């Protein structure tokens, strides 16, 4: 099972690499994109692929829905077209978050990306509640879903395409450490799930099982709402400000201690502004060290932390005898 999942992830990653090479000029695919310009290009790629993919898929569903006189396909087309809105939020979020620092915002506008994530999470909540509402309606009505095996097959094929789009967005989200792209991926996935549920409802109705999709729908609704909650909770926590992870603190300490003359560090603070980080720390040196030498050490520590942690570092020097 694990080897199958790994094989699928490798395939998705290879396809993502092909898209990066094809549509982003002078860029080599990266597994971890930390450069702001590269992150922005990856986000734009995800958004444009999502917009074009959703519009094409919606158009195909509309044409087939009219040809087959299927209300289910037309409704599914509307759901697919609506996903374009979340991709527009991605574009706006990354566009605004890349604005340079100014007098009022000296650390940049990186946290706008987190606000974009919150907006998409709110959309996920709405989708989840709508799923729950429609599923409950089907559960109490116990009426069949009209359709044919042809329509069910079209729904399933559309779901496969949307699931690929979700995995494509997740891959780029992991490469850029972007919760915004992960949230957008879940919108693709909800559309895929909706199509599968309609297909299941059509097939189950043929055998007289009218409540199958309603029960599945309620379960999926709970999953979508929980996902929206988890993503929004993480974003709110980052906006408020989190305590640095133990691993990150250890990395900062180990890097600082490589500089000759540094005895220890403490009072480490890490502030995240989207992909930009501000790190401040206190470094303890010999109490009889000259001011010039201490200042030189502080600059060395700042340079080596910035080079290894992709951040802006500020170091405060303290004499060793003031350890407490």
If pLDDT is split at 50, 70 and 90, which confidence band does 210 have? Answer: confident
Separation between Cα atoms, residue 225 and residue 129, nearest integer Å: 7
> Which CATH topology does 2-240 take?
Alpha-lytic protease prodomain-like (1.20.1510)
Q: Which residue has the tokens 């996903």?
A: 83
- Using the predicted structure, report yes or no on whether residue 323 has a pLDDT greater than 50: no
CB-based contact 90:180 (threshold 8 Å): yes
Q: Decide: 277 and 112 in contact? Cβ < 8 Å.
A: no
Distance, CA of 274 to CA of 17 (rounded, Å): 24
- Where are the extended beta strands (E) located within the chain? 264-273, 276-285, 312-319
Please give the residue that has the higher pLDDT: either 309 or 48: 48
DSSP strand pairing (264-273 vs 276-285): antiparallel
Q: Which of 263, 280, 270 is nearest to 318 (CA)?
A: 263
**Quick check: 44 pLDDT over 90?**
yes
Cα separation, 116 vs 302, in Å, equals: 31
- How much is the CA Rg of the chain, to the nearest whole Å? 25
246-322 CATH fold: Alpha-Beta Plaits (3.30.70)
Over range 234-243, report the average pLDDT: 82
* Domain chopping of the chain, boundaries: 2-240, 246-322
Position 92 pLDDT exceeds 70: yes
Q: Is the pLDDT of residue 161 over 60?
A: yes
Average pLDDT, integer, range 6-26: 88
pLDDT, tens digit (0-9, with 9 covering 90-100), for 275-285: 778 899 999 99
């Amino acid at each position: 099972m694990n080897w199958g999942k790994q094989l699928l992830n490798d395939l998705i990653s290879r396809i993502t690499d092909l898209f990066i090479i094809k549509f982003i000029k002078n860029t080599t695919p990266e597994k971890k994109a930390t450069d702001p310009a590269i992150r922005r290009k990856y986000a734009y790629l995800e958004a444009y692929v999502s917009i074009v993919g959703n519009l094409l898929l919606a158009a195909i569903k509309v044409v087939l829905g009219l040809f087959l006189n299927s209300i289910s396909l037309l409704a599914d087309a509307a759901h697919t077209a609506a996903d374009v809105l979340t991709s527009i939020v991605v574009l706006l979020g990354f566009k605004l978050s890349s604005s340079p620092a100014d007098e009022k915002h000296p650390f940049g506008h990186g946290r706008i990306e987190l606000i974009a994530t919150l907006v998409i999470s709110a959309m996920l909540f709405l989708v989840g509640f709508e799923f729950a509402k429609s599923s409950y309606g089907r559960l109490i009505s116990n009426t069949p879903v009209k359709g044919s095996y042809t329509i069910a097959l079209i729904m399933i094929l559309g779901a496969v395409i949307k699931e690929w789009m979700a995995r494509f967005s997740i891959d780029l989200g992991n490469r850029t450490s972007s919760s915004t792209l992960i949230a957008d991926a879940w919108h693709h996935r909800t559309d895929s799930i909706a199509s599968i549920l309609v297909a299941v409802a059509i097939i189950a109705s043929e055998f007289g099982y009218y409540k199958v999709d309603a029960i599945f729908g309620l379960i999926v609704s709970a999953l979508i709402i929980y996902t929206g909650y988890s993503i929004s909770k993480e974003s709110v926590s980052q906006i408020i400000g989190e305590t640095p992870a133990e691993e990150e603190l250890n990395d900062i300490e180990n890097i600082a201690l490589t500089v000759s003359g540094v005895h220890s560090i403490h009072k480490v603070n890490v502030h995240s502004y989207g992909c930009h980080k501000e790190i401040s720390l206190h470094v303890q040196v010999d109490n009889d060290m000259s001011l010039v030498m201490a200042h030189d050490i502080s600059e060395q520590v700042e340079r080596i932390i910035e080079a290894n942690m992709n951040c802006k570092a500020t170091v405060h020097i303290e004499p060793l005898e003031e350890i407490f």
